[in-house]
Amino acid sequence: MEAAHSPAQSGWPGATQALLTTVIIAVFVVTFIVQAFQIPSPSMENTLLVGDYLLVDKLRYGSGFFDQLMPYHTVQRGDIIVFHYPVDPTQHFVKRVIGVPGDHLRLINRKVYINGNPITENYVHYISNQHDPFRDDFPKVNIPVPGLDGKWWLQMRKLVDDGQLIVPDGYYFVMGDNRDDSQDSRYWGFVPRANIVGRPLVIYWSVKSNSDDMPYAPSPGDKLLHLAYAVTHVVQITRWNRTLRIIY
């Protein structure tokens, strides 16, 4: 006669299996479907703010595992994308696509022209009243400026024709919506198609970035203090009008 198993003994395998299944699903989702990102800089204001936490759709452009399994969208002018920063691929940037392969692009007094035609950009935010020839009348091949990547400076000079920058096949020109305060393709070059991670879907949480009570977190110990403060003051620090906002 077989010995009866105690509830604790019989429950452990099932609980372990359920936990492993949950972990596998979570890893699959994070690896292939969505990924969380935080906005660390003001370059996309006012579309995205410092303290916004995003969920990014990694399937939209069909990169990686799912290329052959399902239809995907092409990268369109005006899309907001998350990508590996070409100068340092360990970093993730978020910008808006302004030029797609084959486009002839230029800025005249901040206004973007694509293939000779001005485009409407209702999302653009300006913070400066001072004119910057390189930033506002791009491309300028004879004005090296601070922050300009040297390799890009040399490449750009070969891709300018009649005052317009030609976007090569397989690459994209991106800019921040906060047009006066954005280190973007003007300063370091194109985004290769392979560097694109996906498109932001939703702001799942947004935290006030200018709270005087919020402790600064430069070290691991301070980060724990920062996290503890956030957990205990979640109601006060949350920007409720931005949380769960769909990104367009």
DSSP 39-100: --SGGGTTTS-TTEEEEEESSTT--GGGTTTS--PPP-TT-EEEEE-TT-TTSEEEEEEEE-
* pLDDT recorded at residue 235: 83
* pLDDT recorded at residue 8: 47
* pLDDT recorded at residue 125: 96
- Catalytic residue ranges: 43, 95
43's CB contacts (< 8 A; 6+ apart) are 95, 176, 177, 178, 181, 182, 183, 184
**3 state SS of 108:** strand
199's CB contacts (< 8 A; 6+ apart) are 56, 57, 60, 61, 79, 80, 81, 82
Q: How far is CA 6 from CA 1, 18, 19, in A?
A: 16, 19, 20
> Which secondary structure element, helix H or strand E, spans residue 27, and what is its range?
helix 7-28
Q: How far is CA 122 from CA 46, 66, 177, 181, in A?
A: 11, 33, 9, 17
* pLDDT recorded at residue 73: 76
What is 28-246's CATH superfamily? Umud Fragment, subunit A (2.10.109.10)
CA distance 179 to 125: 6
* pLDDT recorded at residue 29: 42
209's CB contacts (< 8 A; 6+ apart) are 49, 50, 51
**3 state SS of 232:** helix
Q: Could you tell me if 113 and 119 are in contact, meaning their C-beta atoms sit under 8 angstroms apart?
A: yes
Amino acid at 172: Y
Please list the pLDDT of the chain residue by residue as tens digits (248 residues). Answer: 444 444 444 455 555 555 555 444 444 444 445 688 889 899 999 999 999 999 999 887 865 554 445 546 799 999 999 999 999 999 999 999 999 999 999 999 999 999 999 999 999 999 999 999 999 999 998 887 888 999 999 999 999 999 999 999 999 999 999 999 999 999 999 999 999 999 999 999 999 865 544 544 444 445 566 667 666 778 888 999 999 999 98
Q: Name the pTM for this structure.
A: 0.80
* pLDDT recorded at residue 237: 87
* pLDDT recorded at residue 11: 59
* pLDDT recorded at residue 63: 54
Q: Could you tell me if 61 and 97 are in contact, meaning their C-beta atoms sit under 8 angstroms apart?
A: no
Domain spans of the chain? 28-246
